[in-house]
Amino acid sequence: MGASILPLPTFLVFVSFFALYLLPDPVLGITRHYKFDIKLQNVTRLCHTKSIVSVNGQFPGPRIVAREGDQLLIKVVNHVSNNISIHWHGIRQLRSGWADGPAYITQCPIQTGQSYVYNFTIVGQRGTLWWHAHISWLRSTLYGPIVILPKRGVPYPFAKPYKEVPIIFGEWFNADPEAIITQALQTGGGPNVSDAYTINGLPGPLYNCSAIDTFKLKVKPGKTYLLRLINAALNDELFFSIANHTLTVVDVDAIYVKPFETETLLITPGQTTNVLVKTKPNYPSATFLMTARPYVTGQGTFDNSTVAGILEYESPSNGMHSSISIKKLPLFKPILPALNDTSFATNFVSKLRSLDSAEYPSKVPQKVDKHFFFTVGLGTSPCQHKNQTCQGPNGTMFAASVNNVSFAMPTTALLQSHFYGQSNGVYSPEFPSTPIMPFNYTGNPPNNTMVSNGTKVVVLPFNTSVELVMQDTSILGAESHPLHLHGFNFFVVGQGFGNFDPSKDPANFNLVDPVERNTVGVPSGGWVAIRFLADNPGVWFMHCHLEVHTSWGLKMAWIVLDGKLPNQKLLPPPADLPKC
Ligand SMILES: *[C@@H]1O[C@H](CO)[C@@H](O)[C@H](O)[C@H]1NC(C)=O
Ligand SMILES: *[C@@H]1O[C@H](CO)[C@@H](O)[C@H](O)[C@H]1NC(C)=O
Ligand SMILES: *[C@@H]1O[C@H](CO)[C@@H](O)[C@H](O)[C@H]1NC(C)=O
Ligand SMILES: *[C@@H]1O[C@H](CO)[C@@H](O)[C@H](O)[C@H]1NC(C)=O
Ligand SMILES: *[C@@H]1O[C@H](CO)[C@@H](O)[C@H](O)[C@H]1NC(C)=O
Ligand SMILES: *[C@@H]1O[C@H](CO)[C@@H](O)[C@H](O)[C@H]1NC(C)=O
Ligand SMILES: *[C@@H]1O[C@H](CO)[C@@H](O)[C@H](O)[C@H]1NC(C)=O
Ligand SMILES: *[C@@H]1O[C@H](CO)[C@@H](O)[C@H](O)[C@H]1NC(C)=O
Ligand SMILES: *[C@@H]1O[C@H](CO)[C@@H](O)[C@H](O)[C@H]1NC(C)=O
Ligand SMILES: *[C@@H]1O[C@H](CO)[C@@H](O)[C@H](O)[C@H]1NC(C)=O
Ligand SMILES: *[C@@H]1O[C@H](CO)[C@@H](O)[C@H](O)[C@H]1NC(C)=O
Ligand SMILES: *[C@@H]1O[C@H](CO)[C@@H](O)[C@H](O)[C@H]1NC(C)=O
Ligand SMILES: [Cu+2]
């Protein structure tokens, strides 16, 4: 039928006007409903079957797909004996702190048989984030991707990929991770390490009894794929590479960056990285491994194994490569940096810059209202068992702290206490803004390695512009710590090795196009400086995303007070908010 232009009948104009009126506004976004049933599921990996806590019987858990501007209503129903809470990692949660999820910080846990609807809107973010349990070590099996597409009709600032594929790294334990952390906290020693790393839940062919459990990415030649990488491992930063294929980094933590090419990338727990991969123009006579293994700076034992998936070119229809012949093709394996390659790590993170275009300007605070200097690292606490030695250093228990305060978890949620003005006996607003006893943070360890403890927070007036320097300590050996801040993105304005020098280092800060993100690695034996605007009222957790360090107390919270205007205030709690 040829094209002909006809005047629209009046009734059609009416209908289309009405339809437009009734259809969701593409700019404001739509409401998307999800239901998460938390239940047990049997899973077999490495020839070992065990019962895991999962969402909707899926491992890894279901993918959430939304557009920037959409509202999400996610009903979480707890059918297991564990207490549960779910965190939407990296979502800003503007005024909706009740939906953030860390147990005993913004909510009491969802107890057995209970449910809670997480209600939040995605504002000003597009890329990849993820969700995970935020209580004890349950996130070892409770995690999944959050894919945030740009608003309808808004293109990516790079060529539209042919396909998009989430790739989520995890850590598999043959034993029950809850038993592992319980045992470690009792003995005071380091927890048992994992048995494998996983890609989309699968360890891959480099482990015994695991070849069938291999993630395969089937590709066509001459196309561009967008890989949405997420590090959901419990305790390990990871190097990642694909043999014979270059990665172009375009987005981290749901913020666009200036694109750059790399053969290998580093991703800490809590971080996400979107990369473009261009496939070869013609069918290669080969298949290619994609692998990940840890970057480790600490002194404890760790899982040094390698997870692998396969990048496989689909058989062309002309039959030149049958699926049988593909199996006989040579297999190429990428070469990853040494497990302790700090110079690679430093070089990689120095390439990350925010896009800072007219459309996506970098809004790094130029002036600072409040400066903070926090030491982060390990220490010890006295053995809790009378007449027994503990398995931490010199018979003590491992601990970890920020400014020597090891965070003591409250038994009720901080956000409720704050909202109802009942902080008494729950938390104190006395978190030190600098170390109480300065020392040579990266020099010889001090004689006294014991930490103090308490439930202390920093209170910030609305719209305070904050600069925070986080300094690694060498008390039990220098170590890189991926610090994650809830409720905000921050700008990484500087970093370096040794002790931060407030008289010299700020002169080198990048206040033009620093990378904006929600999780940053504090360099091993060094420091990192971040800036953020405290424009989101609520209680916001900040912690190391190496779960064992969080368990040992490397965590604290910020309270951002309400502003004066009505739209600068935390909303009241939802009626179904769980109680302690
Ligand atoms: C898991 O396996 C055990 C032992 O075979 C069985 O008793 C249990 O019902 C299974 N659980 C589920 C959720 O399938
Ligand atoms: C979700 O939160 C918004 C406020 O941000 C509120 O207006 C709305 O009623 C809530 N929706 C549900 C289903 O609770
Ligand atoms: C941790 O490893 C030790 C030594 O292999 C073992 O005896 C212990 O049972 C393990 N703990 C857990 C909780 O699996
Ligand atoms: C893959 O890379 C290796 C090492 O650089 C090289 O020897 C090999 O020829 C490449 N293979 C293909 C199919 O590109
Ligand atoms: C991993 O650790 C084991 C035991 O400590 C060791 O035998 C092995 O060589 C290590 N592998 C790598 C790749 O470093
Ligand atoms: C990294 O490990 C290798 C051996 O595994 C060691 O020779 C080297 O000194 C280490 N490098 C650093 C910077 O610790
Ligand atoms: C600990 O040792 C002291 C003396 O050595 C003894 O009196 C006490 O009963 C012991 N306590 C426990 C809990 O074993
Ligand atoms: C443990 O004790 C030894 C010897 O007394 C000492 O050299 C070392 O520094 C101590 N380590 C810690 C972590 O306290
Ligand atoms: C801190 O210790 C390091 C390593 O021992 C040393 O090089 C540095 O000079 C010390 N710094 C100060 C200020 O004492
Ligand atoms: C630390 O211990 C050493 C040896 O026991 C001692 O010489 C030194 O004075 C102590 N340093 C401090 C700051 O107490
Ligand atoms: C916390 O500190 C108090 C002293 O302020 C101490 O009695 C208690 O044992 C500490 N708790 C832990 C878990 O270290
Ligand atoms: C679950 O959370 C409630 C409220 O904090 C607490 O009283 C209870 O002991 C917890 N139960 C388990 C199994 O951890
Ligand atoms: Cu840490």
213-270 tens-digit pLDDT: 999 999 999 999 999 999 999 999 999 999 999 999 999 999 999 999 999 999 999 9
State yes or no: pLDDT of 541 exceeds 70: yes
Q: Are residues 394 and 344 in the same domain?
A: no
Please state the domain count of the chain: 3
Determine whether the shortest distance from the Cβ of 385 to ligand 7 is under 6 A.
Answer: no
Q: Are residues 138 and 16 in the same domain?
A: yes
Q: Are residues 150 and 263 in the same domain?
A: no
Per 3-state DSSP, what percentage of the chain is helix, strand, and coil (rounded to 5)?
A: 10, 40, 50
* pLDDT of 133: 98
* pLDDT of 320: 52
State yes or no: pLDDT of 319 exceeds 70: no
Q: Are residues 249 and 100 in the same domain?
A: no
CA of 454 to the centre of ligand 11 (A): 8
Angstrom distance (rounded) from CA 379 to CA 337:
29
Contact 120, 86 (CB under 8 A): no
Angstrom distance (rounded) from CA 390 to CA 375:
25
CA of 128 to the centre of ligand 2 (A): 24
Q: Are residues 427 and 313 in the same domain?
A: no
Q: Are residues 419 and 516 in the same domain?
A: yes
Among residues 106, 138, 154, the one where a domain terminates is 154
Q: Are residues 188 and 107 in the same domain?
A: no
* pLDDT confidence bin for 22, thresholds 50/70/90: very low
Neighbours of 214 (CB within 10 A): 19
Q: Are residues 317 and 395 in the same domain?
A: no
* pLDDT confidence bin for 277, thresholds 50/70/90: very high
The candidate with the shortest Cα–Cα distance to 359, out of 535, 121, 155, is: 155
Residue 140 lies in a domain: yes
* For ligand 2, atom 1: residue with the closest CA: 119
CA of 388 to the centre of ligand 7 (A): 10
Q: Are residues 220 and 119 in the same domain?
A: no
User: Structure tokens of 186?
Assistant: 């009792």
Residue 580 lies in a domain: no
- Name residues with Cβ closer than 5 Å to ligand 13, which is an ion: 481, 544, 546, 549
CA of 571 to the centre of ligand 12 (A): 26
Determine whether the shortest distance from the Cβ of 574 to ligand 8 is under 6 A.
Answer: no
Q: Are residues 314 and 394 in the same domain?
A: no
Query: Whole-number mean pLDDT of the chain?
Result: 94
Among residues 100, 128, 154, the one where a domain terminates is 154
State yes or no: pLDDT of 547 exceeds 60: yes
* pLDDT of 221: 97
Among residues 138, 154, 170, the one where a domain terminates is 154
Pocket of ligand 11 (CB under 6 A): 381, 453
10 three-class SS: helix
Q: Are residues 144 and 206 in the same domain?
A: no
Determine whether the shortest distance from the Cβ of 96 to ligand 2 is under 6 A.
Answer: yes
* pLDDT confidence bin for 388, thresholds 50/70/90: confident
Four-CA torsion 192, 234, 440, 381, nearest 10 degrees: -50
**Domain range for 17:** 1-154
Residue 524 lies in a domain: yes
Q: Are residues 407 and 275 in the same domain?
A: no
Residue 378 lies in a domain: yes
Query: 557: domain CATH number?
Result: 2.60.40.420
pLDDT, tens digit, for every residue of 31-50? Answer: 999 999 999 999 999 999 99
Q: What is the rounded average pLDDT of the residues 108-135?
A: 98
